Amino acid sequence: MIKPQQALHTVFKAACASAAAIGLLAANAAHAADAGKGKVLVDSHNCAACHGANLNKPVSPEYPKLAGQHSDYIYWALRQYQMGTGNPHFGRNNAIMQAQVQSLSPGDMKDIGAYVESLDGDLVQKK
């Protein structure tokens, strides 16, 4: 049989967990991505040095075309480079990209994603 104090404690823990989850969701949704800020970040980080003009003409075939890519994909790719190999389930291993993204905030990465998605590109969707 559960004692009233235990039940109250369980309800309190559940309420705190719910409040924390709602707070995290609200903080994530609060940042509306700004393509203009993303362009400034892309220019300041010299992304075109590898990904080419308008992020659509990579200097080497091993670098991806980014222009027109979905913003959510760009955000999560950048986050994965930030995580690096510290998390083998989610991290991406590329020393150049890991160095490029270390100073970016989640909001910065969303801004970059919005800018990249706004660009016209040569990406082809398979049907």
What's the confidence (pLDDT) of residue 92?
Answer: 83
pLDDT band for position 67 (cuts 50, 70, 90): very high
114 close to 38: Cβ distance less than 8 angstroms: yes
In this prediction, residues 62-89 reach a mean pLDDT of: 89
Share of the chain above pLDDT 90, in %: 59
In this prediction, residues 73-83 reach a mean pLDDT of: 93
* Alpha-carbon gap, residue 114 to 127, rounded angstroms: 24
pLDDT band for position 11 (cuts 50, 70, 90): low
Backbone region of residue 68 per phi and psi (left: phi > 0; alpha: psi in -120 to 50; beta: other values): left
Tell me, what amino acid is at 115?
Answer: Y
What's the confidence (pLDDT) of residue 75?
Answer: 96
Largest CA distance in the chain: 69
Average pLDDT in the chain: 84
What's the confidence (pLDDT) of residue 2?
Answer: 61
What are 46-61's pLDDT values in tens digits? 999 999 999 999 999 9
What are 107-121's pLDDT values in tens digits? 999 999 999 999 998
106 close to 79: Cβ distance less than 8 angstroms: yes
